[in-house]
Every structure is written in C-alpha cells, then in structure tokens.
Amino acid sequence: NAGVTQTPKFQVLKTGQSMTLQCAQDMNHEYMSWYRQDPGMGLRLIHYSVGAGITDQGEVPNGYNVSRSTTEDFPLRLLSAAPSQTSVYFCASRGSTDTQYFGPGTRLTVL
C-alpha cells in the first residue's frame, strides 16, 4: 500500500491563478480530509468527505473547493489563489477505526 499520496510536493502560484492539489489513498477509506498548516496555528480543517459524492466544510473553507467522485481521490481546488493561501497542505484519510493517516504534504507559495 502506498497509503496517502499528494502531488505536487511544491508549487508557486501568482495571485489570481487557479490550481488543483491532488490527493489519493489506496486503503479504501471512506473519510478523507484536507488541512492547512500555518506557523503557530497547528492544523486547521478545510474540507472533508465521508464518502464518494459527499463533502462538507471544515473550519476554514473559504477560497477552496473539493469534490469526491471516487473513494480513492479527493482533490482540493484553489479557484483564485491569494497570498493568504500560502501554507502547507495535508490530506488525510481514515478507515473504520478513528485513526487518521496523513500524506506528505504540498508546500504552496502564492506571490
């Protein structure tokens, strides 16, 4: 099992550009989520999904969209990037137990 994978590892965007952060898991987990990590603020939940076709907002959803067309994939879209979205983004998944497993992260810089 590869676990939770994320691409790209690093990305630089200009203000106003759009992009999609990819996340995939091969553990057949129903629950997937996106977090952002900022210095001194820990991890904050952006969006989550409890299964294919079902998504919901987390703590900081503004400026981000998600979709869940398959169990494996949970992409995060930035429609119009802003400097405030400079952060490290982590995707996570969880199976029948309540333990989350994290991907390696995407480091995003918005200029």
Where along the sequence are the contacts to another protein (CB under 8 A)? 4, 31, 33, 35, 40-45, 48, 50, 56, 58, 90, 92, 98-105
HSE (side-chain half, CA atoms, 13 Å) at 106: 28
Shortest distance in whole angstroms from residue 27 CB to another protein:
13
Shortest distance in whole angstroms from residue 37 CB to another protein:
9
* Contact of 36 with 64, CB cutoff 8 Å: no
State the Cα–Cα distance between residues 109 and 79, nearest whole angstrom: 15
Cβ atoms within 10 Å of 44's Cβ, excluding its own: 14
Token representation of residue 3: 């676990």
Shortest distance in whole angstroms from residue 73 CB to another protein:
18
In terms of CB distance, is 8 or 16 closer to another protein? 8
In terms of CB distance, is 31 or 78 closer to another protein? 31
In terms of CB distance, is 1 or 14 closer to another protein? 1
Cα dist from 17 to 32, 75, 81, whole Å: 25, 17, 5
In terms of CB distance, is 56 or 70 closer to another protein? 56
Shortest distance in whole angstroms from residue 8 CB to another protein:
14
